[in-house]
A and B are shown apart, each in its own frame.
With several copies, the nearest count.
Chain A
Amino acid sequence: MSGSLDDMYRDIILDHYKAPRGKKPIEEANIASDGHNPACGDELELKVSVDGSTVRDVHINCKGCAISVASSSMLAEQIKGKPLEEVKGLAEQVRKMLKGENVQLPEDTDDLDALKGVRNFPVRIKCALLAWVTLLEGIKTFEKGTGESKTINLEETD
């Protein structure tokens, strides 16, 4: 083991894992994107409704390990009510953080810091990434206005 177990499974992570946010289906969504990590079998369904340029509501359903579920749940919690531009920036920051770069997350996103512990478990980094790259793909399609997002296949994107 490269890190200590509690580094990865911090209380916040386990809290999100046991009671994931964003489970509730939403009525209408402008962004819909699916994520898949064939190596792990993780599957994720993401729907976001955007009002003007602000995220109004999020639905995320992740079938996977504690890390991918917690990461998805954090995403749901963090992006709701935020301007789309900010959300994009945040997702990029998280992606960089998980890849080992030194990033400064915005003030009100402390929870996400807990994901850092995953970096000591190389094989698990993709689990934490899944939700965020799926979101980025969804936003990209939304901005292009080309309709349906392609399913994110994790190995292609990292």
Chain B
Amino acid sequence: MESDIENRPTAQAKGLLPIDIERIKADFPILDQKIGDHQLVYLDNAASTQKPRVVINAILEFYRKYNANIHRGLHYLSEKATAMYEHTREHTASFIGGVQPKEVIFTGGTTGAINLVAYTWGEENISEGDEIVISEMEHHANLVPWVILAKKKNAVLKRIPVTPDGYLDLTNIDTIITQKTKLLAVTHMSNVLGTINPVEALAKKAHAVGAVVLIDGAQAAPHMPIDVKAIDADFYCLSAHKMLGPTGVGVLYGKAELLDAMPPFNLGGEMIREVRFDKVTWADLPNKFEGGTPNIADVVAFDSALHYLEELGMDNIRQHEMDLTAYTLDQLSAIPGLEIQGPRNSNQRGGAISFTDSDIHPHDISTFLDSKGIAIRAGHHCAQPLMKIMGKVATARASLYIYNNEQDVDALVKALGEMRRYFGL
């Protein structure tokens, strides 16, 4: 699976074989280590995933052979670097469903992508009395920008409730999405509950009232095939670091006509056409939104992450995670004192599994598991309002990815069993 970053295919290779987890594990150098006396079991993938050798090597190779600033450089390195950077844009465009490359804007992450929309589209299109619809299961990244924008503009923030079993409650959706709705901003997959939301149906409802639809794909894009055109998303946001790519790279997909009409963001070099002291005209898409020197090396390396995912096949990845999620839910259910959040049907959820213990605080759970080499996350997962609604101060969350297998889950389950003894319960 090593690939020469100079000659990379754009076409989506569809993996056909069942996923061989042992072979995959071997592609991730970090997994081959001990934490204290214990083999590392990495189950914090919803926070950030590990990187396969091809991605690490792509960064290495870029800095060793091709590094230069991009755009308009007339020398070999700059031309190479520019071509590689733009290649990732094309690849990303194809990965998310075959959009135009100029509709793919590179940002620092999902947070950066959503903020870009809030500061530009939001600033210009949200006025007093307008309604912004979010859900109760949003990550702060898709919540705080809208809370603040609504406050600033005297707009109304409305929310789609969450049912006790972790689904969006669509009972009253027609009173939530109304003629006043200007924006629907909702997550494709919850980072706390794992729930996969019916974004296609929601987008349809929102479009029917003329609203714009932003989908937070930070958790979905790594784990299932994404087709932004099928969803009919106006904006779709994702983070490279959650899908095998480097930190510091995010993607904002936006429909060209929307992006074209928006004012630029992050003003500076390369995003202008002409600058005078009294007037500035903007460059065309995508440059208009990529002022300054971008995170070139990491964008280039992100290409290798997409390639790796495609070689496995996003359908296969989804299947593997459904199977492993079902297994995990099953195993965790058998542990006394444990309460699991979110849907029980692995068809309708991803592998981010939140749970609590009736007696042990999530932070103690996490620290205890860490002593066994098991990395999970504990806390509010940047979803404080959802925590409150769930009646929890925090949860422990194990989240799965392509390199996890049943043994990893078994290690978790075994440690959770020991934990209650350790704390004298």
Binding site for B on A (CB under 8 A): 1-2, 4-5, 8-9, 14, 17-18, 38-43, 63-67, 121-124, 127, 153, 155-156
B83 and A41 contacting across the interface, CB-CB below 8 Å: no
A9 and B35 contacting across the interface, CB-CB below 8 Å: no
Stretch at the interface among B55-63, B71-79, B330-338: B71-79
User: Looking across the interface, which residue of chain A has its beta carbon closest to that of B287?
Assistant: A155
30 residue pairs A–B, Cβ–Cβ below 8 Å? A1-B35, A1-B75, A1-B371, A2-B79, A5-B367, A5-B371, A5-B422, A8-B367, A9-B364, A9-B422, A14-B424, A18-B423, A38-B384, A39-B72, A40-B363, A40-B393, A41-B393, A43-B393, A65-B363, A65-B364, A67-B364, A121-B74, A121-B367, A122-B82, A122-B83, A123-B72, A123-B82, A124-B74, A124-B363, A155-B283
User: Looking across the interface, which residue of chain A has its beta carbon closest to that of B360?
Assistant: A66
A92 to B73, CA, bound (A): 28
A16 to B73, CA, bound (A): 25
A sample of 9 more A-B contacts (CB under 8 A), given A39-B72, A123-B82, is: A4-B36, A14-B423, A38-B274, A38-B384, A64-B393, A65-B362, A65-B364, A124-B367, A155-B273
A5 and B368 contacting across the interface, CB-CB below 8 Å: yes
User: Looking across the interface, which residue of chain A has its beta carbon closest to that of B270?
Assistant: A39
**Contact A39 to B368, CB < 8 A, known contacts A14-B424, A65-B361, A156-B284:** no
Return chain A residues, CB-CB under 8 Å to B240.
Answer: none
User: Looking across the interface, which residue of chain A has its beta carbon closest to that of B370?
Assistant: A1
Binding site for A on B (CB under 8 A): 35-36, 72-76, 79, 82-83, 273-274, 281, 283-284, 360-364, 367-368, 370-371, 379-380, 384, 387, 392-394, 422-424
User: Looking across the interface, which residue of chain A has its beta carbon closest to that of B78?
Assistant: A123
User: Looking across the interface, which residue of chain B has its beta carbon closest to that of A2?
Assistant: B79
A100 to B394, CA, bound (A): 27
A4 to B371, CA, bound (A): 7
Within the complex, which residue of A2, A18, A63, A155 is in contact with B424, where a contact is CB–CB below 8 Å? A18
B423 and A66 contacting across the interface, CB-CB below 8 Å: yes
B371 and A155 contacting across the interface, CB-CB below 8 Å: no
A122 and B79 contacting across the interface, CB-CB below 8 Å: yes
A64 to B394, CA, bound (A): 10
Return chain A residues, CB-CB under 8 Å to B75.
Answer: 1
B74 and A123 contacting across the interface, CB-CB below 8 Å: yes
**Contact A64 to B72, CB < 8 A, known contacts A14-B424, A122-B79:** no
Distance from B83 Cβ to chain A, minimum over Cβ atoms (Å): 7
A38 to B276, CA, bound (A): 12
Distance from A38 Cβ to chain B, minimum over Cβ atoms (Å): 4
Distance from A91 Cβ to chain B, minimum over Cβ atoms (Å): 22
Distance from A54 Cβ to chain B, minimum over Cβ atoms (Å): 33
A127 and B363 contacting across the interface, CB-CB below 8 Å: yes
Return chain A residues, CB-CB under 8 Å to B379.
Answer: 39-41
A67 to B361, CA, bound (A): 10
B394 and A40 contacting across the interface, CB-CB below 8 Å: yes
